[in-house]
């Protein structure tokens, strides 16, 4: 990072100091862990999903998360309304294209929202590849529901193309997280193999990225800081847990503790 960019520590502190209000239009399966994680990192969660209320609430939110898991017609209307307001007001919003590619409704929704210029697209490698294929109307295969069958490096070309379309950032989650934007790639190594065994760790990361984008205009750095915090907390939790259940509790506590960065970060 150049000296003009904020440090990871300053972004972490800014989130806690400003307590950003994150409007989460998200998968019903992960609402509780999403709220818990946001509170742990110092943000305030809200799950307002009525279409009219979502439009009103987006106007006062610090950031908006759109997670397309389990979409139904009212939620889709709420997502479109919230994104419209966020764009009008310049509020950062994050797109999480959960399991796109194999399911028609969410794939069409997510691919259309790409053109609404999300600050960050956060997804696993298969979701990034499939989202790019949907946007460009080309064929792609990969993924198994919310699970990726592709490695993050294989999604770099698709991520770069999506970042060019949005003018924003694409964050690829995996064993190595890769943050991509114009002329910049950052790799983050860390985390734990226990994370995929806890429901909602990926989806709640989208909410944390949203919170972090509310704390700085440098959205690439915000995504790096959010992923580094996640990786650090996971590494710490894995050392103090006996399995997925205790890992979950230790991981939330570690996010709350705001531990010094343990993740390995590589810039290119």
Q: Can you give the three-state secondary structure of 32-82, one letter per residue?
A: HHHHHHHHHHCCEEECCCCHHHHHHHHCCCCEEEEECCCCCHHHHHHHHHH
Q: Report pLDDT digits (tens) over 247-267.
A: 999 999 999 998 989 899 999
Alpha helix ranges (H) inside 143-200: 156-166
Residue that has been written with the tokens 């592709």 in this structure: 150
DSSP 197: G
Examine the pLDDT at 222 and tell me if it is beyond 50. Answer: yes
Burial class (CB in 10 A: 0-12, 13-18, 19+), 182: exposed
Instruction: Output the pLDDT for position 138.
Output: 86
**Average pLDDT of the segment spanning 37-65:** 97
Q: Give the annotated binding-site residues for ATP.
A: 122, 173
Distance of alpha carbon 108 from alpha carbon 134, whole angstroms = 8
**Average pLDDT of the segment spanning 10-27:** 97
Tokens representing 203 are 């989806």
Tokens representing 246 are 């205790």
For the chain, domain boundaries: 8-267
**Average pLDDT of the segment spanning 88-108:** 95
Distance of alpha carbon 267 from alpha carbon 122, whole angstroms = 19
Please give the share of the chain, as a percent, with pLDDT higher than 90: 89
CA–CA–CA angle 247, 250, 252 (5° rounding)? 105
pTM: 0.94
Examine the pLDDT at 100 and tell me if it is beyond 90. Answer: yes
Instruction: Output the pLDDT for position 3.
Output: 52
Look at the alpha carbons of 264, 149, 268, 167 in this order and tell me if their dihedral is positive or negative.
Answer: negative
Q: Which CATH architecture has domain 8-267?
A: 3-Layer(aba) Sandwich (3.40)
Q: Report pLDDT digits (tens) over 124-181.
A: 999 999 999 999 988 665 544 455 568 899 999 999 999 999 999 999 999 999 999 9
Residue that has been written with the tokens 């710490």 in this structure: 236
Instruction: Output the pLDDT for position 1.
Output: 40
Instruction: Output the pLDDT for position 70.
Output: 85
Q: Give the annotated binding-site residues for substrate.
A: 47, 200
**Average pLDDT of the segment spanning 27-56:** 96
* Cα–Cα distances in angstroms (integers) from residue 84 to residues 7, 47, 68, 80, 109, in the given order: 31, 17, 16, 6, 14
Nearest C-alpha neighbor of 53 from the set 71, 74, 22, 29: 74
Examine the pLDDT at 12 and tell me if it is beyond 80. Answer: yes
Examine the pLDDT at 242 and tell me if it is beyond 70. Answer: yes
Distance of alpha carbon 117 from alpha carbon 168, whole angstroms = 7
């Amino acid at each position: 990072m150049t000296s003009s960019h904020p440090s990871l520590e300053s972004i972490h502190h800014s989130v806690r100091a400003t307590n950003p209000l994150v409007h989460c239009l998200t998968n019903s399966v992960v609402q509780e862990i999403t709220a818990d994680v946001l509170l742990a990192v110092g943000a305030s969660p809200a799950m307002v999903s009525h279409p009219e209320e979502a439009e009103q609430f987006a106007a006062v939110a610090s950031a908006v998360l759109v997670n397309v898991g389990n979409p139904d017609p009212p939620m889709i209307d709420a997502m479109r309304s919230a994104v419209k307001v966020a764009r009008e007001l310049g509020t950062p919003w994050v797109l999480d294209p959960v399991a796109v590619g194999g399911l028609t409704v969410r794939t069409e929704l997510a691919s259309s929202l790409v053109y609404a210029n999300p600050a960050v697209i956060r997804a696993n490698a298969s979701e990034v590849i499939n989202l790019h294929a949907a946007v460009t109307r080309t064929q792609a295969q990969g993924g198994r529901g919310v699970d990726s069958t592709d490695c993050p490096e294989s999604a770099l070309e698709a991520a770069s193309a999506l970042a060019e379309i949005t003018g924003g950032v694409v964050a690829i989650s995996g064993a190595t997280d890769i943050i991509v934007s114009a002329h910049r790639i950052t790799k983050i190594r860390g985390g734990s193999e226990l994370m995929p065994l806890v429901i909602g760790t990926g989806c709640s990361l989208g909410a944390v990225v949203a919170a972090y984008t509310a704390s700085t205009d440098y959205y690439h750095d915000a995504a790096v800081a959010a992923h580094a915090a996640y990786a650090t907390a996971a590494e710490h939790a894995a050392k103090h847990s006996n399995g997925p259940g205790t890992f979950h509790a230790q991981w939330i506590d570690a996010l709350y503790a705001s531990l010094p960065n343990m993740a390995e970060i590589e810039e290119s």
